[in-house]
C-alpha cells in the first residue's frame, strides 16, 4: 500500500470553509441536501459512462444512496455506488474550487454574515458544507472500472489541509463519513435525518435508503400472527425523475427543491414551466427562471445551459445549444426521446432535432416571461437582475424580436427614475396626439441622459423620452428600430421632426427666427469650417445655447466614444 500524503487546501477553499461554518450555521441541515445531491449526480455520471461500457456496472447495477447513523462512533455516513473518484479527481474536486466566478465571489464578500451567507448560497455550497456539522470528514472512494486496491481515502478536519491515502475498498462508489461536532447529536436521530431527507431530497431519482432493523414475529390486532421481517435497506423517497411525474401530483415545494438540485442555487426560483410535448417532437422540458444571477453571468467562458437527458438517461450538464445566449440565465432539464443516446456536443451542434428543441425552449421561455410580466413586482425583480442580458435579444433573435421587445423595460422622462420600469407599450399608451415615433436618448450615464440638452424641447412639449444608459443600449437600438409599427427615434440625431406636433403659430415664429439668425449662422459656418457638417438654427433647445447633433445615419457620439475606447 502507498503512503499517506498531506496536501494544503487552495487558499480560497480555506476561506470558503471558514465562511461556511460561520455564516451557514443557522441553515446547517442543508449539508444533507448537498451530499445526497452529489450522490445522485455520481449515479447519473456512471449511467452515462455505462452507455458506452456496460461492464462498469459490474455486478452492482442498482444505483442508490444509503444513509447510516452510528450513535457510538457519532458518525453519519452517506454511501453511494455511483461513478466514484480517482486520486486525481479527489485532489481537484475536494481540494480546490474550479468554478468560474470564484474571483468575483470572493471580491464581493463583505464580512457581514447574513449578506455573505446569501452570497455563498448563490455561489453554491456543495461538498464543503459537510464541515458545518462535522469536525472531521473521511471520504473513501473507488472509481468505476478501478480495482479494489486502487481506492483512495481523503480525510480533513476542514482547516488548512487534507490527507490522501491509497486504500482497498470492496465496492465501487463513494462513502462519506461525517464525524459530528460536539452538540450536533440531532443528526444521529434516524427520525430527524429522514425528515430532512424527505424535505430536501424527495425528488432525487435514485432511492435514498435507511437501514430498517429486523422486526420479530408479532401478533396483529385481530390476534393473527405477523411474520418476522428481516433487516433491510428501505427507500424513503419516490425515486422517480421529477420531470417524468405528472404536474398535478407535484407540489411547489418539490419543484423548488428540484431547482436547487439542478442549479446549485439555494434560492427558490422565480417561476417555472413544466411541459410534455408529444407528436412531431417528443420531449419533456422543465424550465426555471432564477431569482438571482450567478456570479459568472458576464463571464464569456462561463458554463450555462440545460441539463440534458435522453430517455431519462443523463447525458450532459450545461447543454447550451437549447437556449439562445440572451436567455443564458435560464436553468432546467430537457429530456428528449428523439436524440440518440450516444449524442455528443459535436453532434448536437447540427441536428434538426436540436434546432426544433431550441425553438421550443425559446418560445416556452418567452411565454413564461410574458406571464411573469403580468406581476409587475416580480417582473421588476427579474428585470433588475437579468434585463441587461435580455436586451441582447433583438440583435440575436430576429424571429422573436417583437415578443422580446415587449418584455424590455426602460427608464424614461415619465418617471425620471433610474429604475427601468417603462415598457414600450406603456410608452405608446402615453403618446401625444400626432406623435408617431418613440423617442429615446442614449448617453454614458443615467444622469447624462436625464440632463441632456437634447431633451429640453421635448420636455417642454410634454413628450416622453426613453433614457438609455446601459452599455448594451446603443447595440439594442441599432437592432430594434421599431415596435408596434412605431419607429424608434433618437432625439440626438438629425431627422427629428417635431413640427407635426406644433401649431401654425409656432411654425411661423420658427421661420421668423431662422430668418433673423441667417447672418449669424453664416458667420458660424465660416468660423468652424470643415470641423462641422452643418450649422442650423435649432428649435430643440430652450435653456442651453447650442448642442452637437449627428446625422440620422451617422454614428452617434456614443458609438464614436465606444469605438475610440476599443482602439478604433
Q: Which does 201 bind (CB under 5 to 8 A by kind): Mg ion, ligand ADP, none?
A: none
Beta bridge partners of 69: 76
Which residue's CB comes closest to ligand ADP?
Answer: 126
Q: Which does 14 bind (CB under 5 to 8 A by kind): ligand ADP, Mg ion, none?
A: none
Residue 290 corresponds to which cell in the numbers above? 432564477
| 124 interacts with ligand ADP by CB under 6 A | yes
Q: Which is nearer to ligand ADP, 61 or 462 (CB)?
A: 61
| 238 interacts with ligand ADP by CB under 6 A | no
Rama region for 359: left / alpha / beta (φ>0; ψ in -120 to 50; rest):
alpha
CA separation for the pair 380, 420 (Å, rounded): 8
Residue 124 counted as an annotated binding residue: yes
Please state the closest distance from residue 206 (CB atom) to ligand ADP, in A: 12
Cβ-in-10-Å burial (0-12, 13-18, 19+) of 113 comes to middle
Q: Which does 83 bind (CB under 5 to 8 A by kind): ligand ADP, Mg ion, none?
A: ligand ADP
Q: Which is nearer to ligand ADP, 329 or 483 (CB)?
A: 329
Please state the closest distance from residue 28 (CB atom) to Mg ion, in A: 16
Using the rule CB under 6 A, give the single segment among 32-40, 192-200, 466-474, 522-530 that binds ligand ADP.
Answer: 32-40
Percent helix / strand / coil, the chain, rounded to 5:
40, 20, 40
Q: Which is nearer to ligand ADP, 176 or 408 (CB)?
A: 176
Q: Which does 42 bind (CB under 5 to 8 A by kind): Mg ion, ligand ADP, none?
A: ligand ADP
Residue 285 counted as an annotated binding residue: no
The single residue listed with the C-alpha cell 445551459 is 305
Binding string, 80-119, against ligand ADP, x = CB under 6 A?
x-xxxx-------xx-------------------------
DSSP code per residue over 314-373: EEEEEEGGGS-GGGTT-EEEEEESSS-TT--HHHHHT-HHHHHHHHHHHHHHHHHHHHHT
Sign of the torsion formed by the C-alpha atoms of 196, 16, 205 and 268? positive
The helix (H) or strand (E) run that includes residue 473 is: helix 473-479
Cβ neighbours of residue 323 under 8 Å, at least 6 residues apart? 304, 305, 306, 330, 358, 361, 362, 365
CA separation for the pair 142, 271 (Å, rounded): 39
- Tell me the C-alpha to C-alpha distance, in Å, between residue 563 and each of 365, 396, 447, 559, 566: 34, 21, 22, 6, 5
Using the rule CB under 5 A, give the single segment among 119-127, 514-522, 551-559, 560-568 that binds Mg ion.
Answer: 119-127
Q: Which is nearer to Mg ion, 290 or 394 (CB)?
A: 290
Q: If DSSP codes are grouped into helix, strand and coil, which group holds residue 174?
A: strand
Q: Which does 156 bind (CB under 5 to 8 A by kind): ligand ADP, Mg ion, none?
A: none
Please state the closest distance from residue 37 (CB atom) to Mg ion, in A: 5
Using the rule CB under 5 A, give the single segment among 17-25, 30-38, 142-150, 361-369 that binds Mg ion.
Answer: 30-38
Residue 558 corresponds to which cell in the numbers above? 456614443
Q: Which is nearer to ligand ADP, 154 or 483 (CB)?
A: 154
CA separation for the pair 33, 204 (Å, rounded): 10
Residue 157 corresponds to which cell in the numbers above? 478536519
| 294 interacts with Mg ion by CB under 5 A | no
Residue 333 counted as an annotated binding residue: no
Q: Which is nearer to Mg ion, 38 or 156 (CB)?
A: 38
Q: Are 270 and 250 in contact (CB under 8 A)?
A: no
Cβ-in-10-Å burial (0-12, 13-18, 19+) of 63 comes to buried
Q: Which is nearer to ligand ADP, 41 or 456 (CB)?
A: 41
Please state the closest distance from residue 428 (CB atom) to ligand ADP, in A: 45
The correct pick among 13, 17, 19, 39 for binding ligand ADP (CB under 6 A) is 39
CA separation for the pair 345, 64 (Å, rounded): 28
The correct pick among 21, 29, 38, 287 for binding Mg ion (CB under 5 A) is 38
Please state the closest distance from residue 261 (CB atom) to Mg ion, in A: 9
Please state the closest distance from residue 45 (CB atom) to ligand ADP, in A: 7
| 126 interacts with Mg ion by CB under 5 A | yes
The correct pick among 127, 210, 446, 475 for binding ligand ADP (CB under 6 A) is 127
The correct pick among 238, 264, 414, 461 for binding ligand ADP (CB under 6 A) is 264
Q: Which is nearer to ligand ADP, 63 or 465 (CB)?
A: 63
Cβ neighbours of residue 481 under 8 Å, at least 6 residues apart? 487, 488
The helix (H) or strand (E) run that includes residue 206 is: none
Please state the closest distance from residue 42 (CB atom) to ligand ADP, in A: 3
How many C-alpha atoms does 187 have within 13 Å on its Cβ side? Answer: 25
Q: Which does 237 bind (CB under 5 to 8 A by kind): ligand ADP, Mg ion, none?
A: none
CA separation for the pair 456, 444 (Å, rounded): 18
Using the rule CB under 5 A, give the single segment among 32-40, 45-53, 203-211, 326-334 that binds Mg ion.
Answer: 32-40
Residue 174 counted as an annotated binding residue: yes
Enumerate binding residues for Mg ion (CB under 5 A): 38, 126
Enumerate the known binding-site residues for ATP. 34, 38, 80, 85, 99-101, 122-127, 174, 345
Enumerate binding residues for ligand ADP (CB under 6 A): 34, 38-39, 41-42, 80, 82-85, 93-94, 124, 126-127, 174, 264
Enumerate the known binding-site residues. 34, 38, 80, 85, 99-101, 122-127, 174, 345
Amino acid at each position: 500500500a502507498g503512503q499517506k500524503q498531506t496536501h494544503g487546501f487552495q487558499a480560497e477553499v480555506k476561506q470558503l470553509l471558514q465562511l461556511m461554518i460561520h455564516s451557514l450555521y443557522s441553515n446547517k441541515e442543508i449539508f444533507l441536501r448537498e451530499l445526497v445531491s452529489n450522490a445522485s449526480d455520481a449515479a447519473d455520471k456512471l449511467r452515462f459512462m455505462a452507455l458506452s461500457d456496460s461492464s462498469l456496472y459490474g455486478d452492482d447495477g442498482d444505483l442508490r444512496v444509503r444513509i447510516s447513523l452510528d450513535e457510538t462512533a457519532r458518525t453519519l455516513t452517506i454511501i453511494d455506488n455511483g461513478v466514484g473518484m480517482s486520486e486525481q479527481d479527489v485532489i481537484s474536486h475536494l481540494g480546490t474550487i474550479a468554478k468560474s466566478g470564484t474571483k468575483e465571489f470572493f471580491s464581493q464578500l463583505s464580512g457581514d454574515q447574513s449578506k455573505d451567507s446569501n452570497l455563498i448560497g448563490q455561489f453554491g455550497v456543495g461538498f464543503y458544507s459537510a464541515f458545518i456539522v462535522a469536525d472531521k470528514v473521511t471520504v473513501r472512494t473507488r472509481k468505476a472500472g478501478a480495482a479494489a486496491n486502487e481506492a483512495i481515502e481523503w480525510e480533513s478536519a476542514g482547516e488548512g489541509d487534507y490527507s490522501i491515502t491509497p486504500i482497498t475498498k470492496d465496492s465501487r462508489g463513494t462513502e462519506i463519513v461525517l464525524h459530528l461536532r460536539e452538540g450536533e447529536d440531532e443528526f444521529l436521530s434516524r427520525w430527524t435525518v429522514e425528515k430532512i431527507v424527505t424535505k430536501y431530497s424527495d425528488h432525487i431519482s435514485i432511492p435514498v435508503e435507511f437501514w430498517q432493523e429486523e422486526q420479530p414475529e408479532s401478533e396483529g390486532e385481530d390476534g393473527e400472527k405477523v411474520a418476522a421481517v428481516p433487516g433491510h435497506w428501505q427507500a424513503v423517497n419516490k425515486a422517480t425523475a421529477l420531470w417524468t411525474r405528472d404536474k398535478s401530483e407535484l407540489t411547489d415545494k418539490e419543484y423548488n427543491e428540484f431547482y436547487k438540485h439542478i442549479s446549485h442555487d439555494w434560492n427558490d426560483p422565480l417561476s417555472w414551466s413544466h411541459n410534455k410535448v408529444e407528436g412531431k417532437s417528443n420531449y419533456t422540458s422543465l424550465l426555471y427562471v432564477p431569482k438571482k444571477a450567478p456570479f459568472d453571468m458576464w463571464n464569456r467562458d462561463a458554463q450555462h445551459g440545460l441539463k440534458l437527458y435522453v430517455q431519462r438517461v443523463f447525458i450532459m450538464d450545461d447543454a447550451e445549444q437549447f437556449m439562445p445566449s440572451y436567455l443564458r440565465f435560464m436553468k432546467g432539464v430537457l429530456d428528449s426521446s428523439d436524440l440518440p443516446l450516444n449524442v455528443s456536443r459535436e453532434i448536437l451542434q447540427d441536428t434538426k432535432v436540436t434546432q426544433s428543441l431550441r425553438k421550443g425552449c425559446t418560445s416556452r421561455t418567452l411565454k413564461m416571461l410574458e406571464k411573469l410580466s403580468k406581476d409587475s413586482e416580480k417582473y421588476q425583480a427579474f428585470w433588475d437582475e437579468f434585463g441587461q442580458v435580455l436586451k441582447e435579444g433583438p440583435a440575436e433573435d430576429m424571429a422573436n424580436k417583437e415578443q422580446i421587445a415587449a418584455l424590455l423595460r426602460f427608464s424614461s422622462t415619465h418617471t425620471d427614475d433610474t429604475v427601468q420600469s417603462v415598457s414600450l407599450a406603456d410608452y405608446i399608451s402615453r403618446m401625444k396626439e400626432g406623435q408617431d415615433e418613440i423617442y429615446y436618448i442614449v448617453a454614458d450615464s443615467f444622469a447624462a441622459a436625464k440632463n441632456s440638452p437634447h431633451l429640453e424641447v421635448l420636455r417642454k412639449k410634454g413628450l416622453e423620452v426613453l433614457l438609455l444608459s446601459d452599455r448594451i443600449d446603443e447595440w439594442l437600438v441599432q437592432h430594434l428600430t421599431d415596435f408596434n409599427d412605431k419607429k424608434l427615434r433618437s432625439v440626438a440625431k438629425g431627422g427629428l421632426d417635431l413640427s407635426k406636433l406644433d401649431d401654425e403659430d409656432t411654425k411661423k415664429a420658427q421661420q421668423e427666427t431662422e430668418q433673423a439668425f441667417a447672418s449669424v449662422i453664416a458667420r458660424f459656418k465660416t468660423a468652424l469650417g470643415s470641423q462641422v457638417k452643418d450649422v442650423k438654427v435649432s428649435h430643440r433647445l430652450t435653456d442651453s445655447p447650442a448642442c452637437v447633433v449627428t446625422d440620422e445615419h451617422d454614428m452617434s457620439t456614443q458609438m464614436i466614444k465606444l469605438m475610440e475606447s476599443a482602439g478604433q
